[in-house]
Every structure is written in C-alpha cells, then in structure tokens.
Amino acid sequence: MAKTVVNKHADLKSSIIPWLLILPTFIVVLMFTAWPTVLSIYQSFFRLKLNVPRFRVPTFIGLQNYVELFKSPTFHQVLWNTIIYVAGVVPISVILAFLFALLVNRAIKGIGFIRLGFFYPTILPMVSAATVWMYFFTPNYGLFNLFLQWFGYHGPQNWTGNPHLALLAVMIVAIWKSAGYFMIFYLAGLQNLPTDVFEAADIDGVNYLQRLWYITFPLLRRTTLFVTTIAFIDGFQIIDHIFVLTQGGPSDASNVLLYYLWEMRFNYQDVGKSAALTVILVAFILIFTIGNFALSERKEDRRVA
C-alpha cells in the first residue's frame, strides 16, 4: 500500500514539474504577447483619438477603422513599401547568410577573425549602424557616390532624400545588418551535418554543386525554415534605422507598416487605427509563419512518401 502511494506521488510530481518549468515562459507570453494582441483587436473596433477632444471617449464603430485604412492611399503606399522591403531583404539576406556560412565553414588559420568580420554588423545597435551608413549615403562625399564616379557618373545622388532610392537605402542597411546573424544558424547547421553522407558522395564521384543541391540543401531544410521565419518576422519589425535614415520619407517612399503604426499612435494619437494596424501586422506574420511551416511539412511528407 505504501509503495502504491509513493508511486502515485512520484507520478504526480513528474507530471507537474514540466508545467512548472514552462510556467515563467507562459506568463511572459501571456502578458506581453497574448494580452496586448487581444487588447489591440478590441481597441480596433473603437474610435479613440487622444488629440481630438470630441473623440477622447471610446466610441464603438465596428470595422470602420479597417475600412478607412484600406481606403487610404497612404496605407496602400505603406503596404506596398512593406511588401517590396520584405520581398527584397528576406531572400537576399538568407542567400547571403548561406553563402557566408559555406565560406567560413573551413578549418583554416584565422577563420575566427573572418567569422567575426561577417558577424560584427549584427552586434552593432541598429541606430549606430544607421548613423554610420548615413556617411555612405551623403550626397556630395558619400562612398556610394564616389563608387558611382568610378563608372563615369559625376552627379551627387541623395540616396535618403530621393523617393526612388530611399527604400533601397533602408534595404541595403538591413541586409548588411542581418546577413551575418542568419549566417550563424547556417554555420551551426553545416557543422552538425553527418559526414558519412558526404564521404559516400565523394566516393560516388558527386561534384560540389551536385552535393550542395542534392545533399546539403535538403539536410538544412529545418534550418532554412527557422531562418526564413525569423527573417520574415524581422522584416515586418523594421523601424530603427528608418528613424535615423529617412523617417519614412520622402513622401512616404520608405514608410513601412511598423513605422506607420508608430506614427499613427504617437504622432496622430489615433489609438483605434493604430490598434487596427497592429492586428493587420500580426495577421501578416501569423499567415506567413503558419504557411511556411505547412509548406515545409508537406514537402517533408512527400519526400518520405
């Protein structure tokens, strides 16, 4: 009888311990992710403008905030800028990260310094990095314009003040900042690949490109899934270097969703529309993340079948 009681006590303890271990994370996620999201969904159905006296009292308006946003030309421009930014920064950053990882995945003298050189932009604060890049984009003596002069172009180009180049300038800084960070994950993945598979490929006479395409890529599928998901989320969270480089201008040419959300909340003090923008931003991230995982799992199921 005593033995049975002890066994039940041990089973109860073993079943409670895992829940106790995840409890701190659960509380943090609940307080700083789940609750703000639910609150934003609720506030998005109300008109609340803190800088307009007659709208300081919340008024239920249903989906009106969403309707006004999707009718706004500024929101259309911001949404298009965000799509261009994510579609440009994410794949280029991921491809560069993989190439950098291949380059530094070698046992040669001084490879640690080379890895540090690729990773160094990641440890710089975003504001500091953007400030450094302001020198590159300076119209008269910036390094980018000096580079263009080598190819016969002598007119100074205002990168951050030109509507056609401002978003490109922001994207260049983001790629430079994030590629080294994603490289770390690919490097860890490469160093944990099974060596016997590559030895067998060498015996069979498989060349480097074939080995890369048919062996390395498939084995790094999980790493790529993780990196692309993180890169996509980071792409929608861009705001720091827009503050320093362009402040969303000129004429909203470099404005993106998160910066527009900040403007709506703190410049225009429109709580309702900023909450609606938050819901839209979360929806984009959620749809991509779920779709990315579903597509990856479907490919895995087909490969197994």
The pLDDT value recorded for residue 301 is 53
172 exposure class (CB count in 10 Å sphere: 0-12, 13-18, 19+): buried
Residue 255's region, left for phi above 0, alpha for psi from -120 to 50, else beta, is beta
Whole-angstrom distance, CA of residue 272 vs CA of residue 275:
5
Structure tokens at 126: 């975003």
pLDDT in tens, the chain (305 residues): 545 555 555 555 667 777 788 888 889 888 888 888 899 999 999 998 888 888 888 889 989 999 999 999 999 999 999 999 999 999 999 999 999 998 888 777 777 787 888 888 888 887 788 888 888 887 777 777 777 777 766 656 778 888 888 899 899 999 999 999 999 999 989 888 888 888 888 887 788 888 888 888 888 988 998 899 899 988 888 888 888 888 888 888 999 999 999 999 888 889 999 999 999 999 988 888 888 777 776 665 555 45
255 exposure class (CB count in 10 Å sphere: 0-12, 13-18, 19+): buried
For the domain spanning 64-304, the CATH number is 1.10.3720.10
The pLDDT value recorded for residue 111 is 79
**Cβ atoms of 51 and 272 closer than 8 Å:** no
Whole-angstrom distance, CA of residue 278 vs CA of residue 176:
27
Whole-angstrom distance, CA of residue 13 vs CA of residue 154:
75
Q: Could you count the other beta carbons within 10 Å of the beta carbon of residue 34?
A: 11
Place of tokens 């080294």: 180
In degrees to the nearest 10, what's the CA dihedral of 100, 106, 112, 114? -40
Domain ranges of the chain: 64-304
The pLDDT value recorded for residue 251 is 86
DSSP 15: H
Q: Shortest CA distance to 256 belongs to which of 118, 14, 74, 34?
A: 74
Q: Could you count the other beta carbons within 10 Å of the beta carbon of residue 72?
A: 13
Q: How large is the C-alpha radius of gyration of the chain?
A: 25
How far is CA 121 from each of CA 178, 181, 182, 276, rounded to the nearest angstrom?
A: 8, 8, 12, 34
Whole-angstrom distance, CA of residue 5 vs CA of residue 10:
9
